[in-house]
């Protein structure tokens, strides 16, 4: 078995996209978690860019979730995430790209629009599992980082309005595409479903241990989840987590 290490943020939908792909492939791996802000230098040194996730396979670092999934598909083709048929594969990869480029960042802007005013919750989401003292020091430092958090995550009224529109369109699109069948492309779960579900996931309540709420949940976050809860597109996201996300390999 290859040696696989995932360098990750805990509460992050792009990171969950890779955790899901690793679970789907049944690939055992080690996880190293970072608190946002403390991640940039190690990611840069490892992969030449600052974002998480970075996956290291037998010493080779790969950044970018689509490149990581391509590498996992090459490493362990079965069970597949790419459809075998070339036309369906192109369709699935185009959907993955749309969610990577537009919807994932939009989801993040909406959620951080709440989190910048709920710093205790933000630290619980990203810091659960850390030692108490590290969380305490981080919580004291976070207020100074809020302007940067706003900038990096597009938290401004114009971008949040644009993001809400993109997310509403994506949810309607998912609902229409999956009215008569569970999957976005063909008749099997693929990278399209994985990307769409993972990158919408922060807008709904999940019971998966990697993406569940960290109580107490502030009212503003509960209200955000409630806003989308009844949408058939969001129910589809929850169904994919329930039906197509295998347990992590032990």
Q: In whole angstroms, what separates CA 172 from the centre of its chain?
A: 20
Decide if residue 163 touches ligand GSH (CB under 6 A): no
Q: Which is nearer to ligand GSH, 90 or 148 (CB)?
A: 148
Q: Which is nearer to ligand GSH, 174 or 195 (CB)?
A: 195
Looking at the DSSP bridge assignments, the partners of residue 30 are: 5
Q: Which is nearer to ligand GSH, 51 or 163 (CB)?
A: 51
Q: Judge whether 246 and 194 are in contact, CB under 8 Å.
A: no
In whole angstroms, how close is the CB of 71 to ligand GSH at the nearest point? Answer: 12
Site for ligand GSH in 85-144 (CB under 6 A): 100
Q: Could you tell me how many residues of this chain bind ligand GSH (CB under 6 A)?
A: 12
Site for ligand GSH in 45-64 (CB under 6 A): 50-52, 64
Q: Which is nearer to ligand GSH, 129 or 247 (CB)?
A: 129
Q: Judge whether 73 and 35 are in contact, CB under 8 Å.
A: no
Q: Which is nearer to ligand GSH, 12 or 238 (CB)?
A: 12
Looking at the DSSP bridge assignments, the partners of residue 83 are: none
Largest Cα separation within the chain, whole Å, is 52
Identified binder of ligand GSH from the candidate list 33, 47, 65, 190, rule CB under 6 A? 65
Identified binder of ligand GSH from the candidate list 6, 7, 9, 204, rule CB under 6 A? 9
Identified binder of ligand GSH from the candidate list 4, 11, 12, 72, rule CB under 6 A? 12
In whole angstroms, how close is the CB of 64 to ligand GSH at the nearest point? Answer: 5
In whole angstroms, how close is the CB of 51 to ligand GSH at the nearest point? Answer: 4
- Which residues sit at the interface with ligand GSH, rule CB under 6 A? 9, 12, 14, 40, 50-52, 64-66, 100, 152
């Amino acid at each position: 078995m290859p040696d696989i290490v995932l360098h990750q943020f805990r509460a992050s939908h792009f990171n969950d996209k890779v955790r899901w792909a690793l679970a789907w492939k049944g690939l055992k791996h080690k996880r190293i978690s970072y608190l946002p802000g403390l991640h940039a230098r190690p990611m840069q040194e490892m992969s030449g860019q600052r974002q998480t996730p970075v996956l290291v396979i037998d010493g080779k670092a790969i950044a970018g979730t689509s490149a990581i999934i391509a590498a996992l598909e090459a490493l362990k083709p079965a069970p597949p995430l790419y459809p075998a048929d070339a036309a369906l594969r192109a369709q699935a990869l185009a959907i993955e790209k749309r969610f990577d480029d537009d919807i994932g960042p939009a989801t993040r802007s909406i959620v951080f629009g709440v989190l910048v005013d709920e710093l205790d919750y933000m630290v619980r989401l990203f810091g659960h599992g850390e030692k108490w003292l590290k969380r305490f020091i981080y919580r004291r430092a976070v207020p100074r980082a809020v302007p940067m958090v706003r900038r990096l995550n597009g938290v401004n009224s114009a971008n949040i309005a644009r993001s809400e529109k993109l997310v509403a369109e994506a949810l309607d699109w998912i609902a229409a595409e999956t009215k008569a069948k569970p999957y976005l492309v063909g008749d099997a779960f693929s990278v399209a479903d994985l990307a769409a579900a993972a990158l919408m996931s922060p807008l709904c309540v999940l019971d998966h241990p990697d993406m569940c709420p960290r109580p107490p949940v502030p009212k503003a976050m509960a209200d955000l989840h409630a806003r989308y809860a009844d949408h058939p597109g969001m129910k589809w996201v929850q169904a994919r987590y329930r039906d197509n996300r295998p347990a992590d390999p032990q």
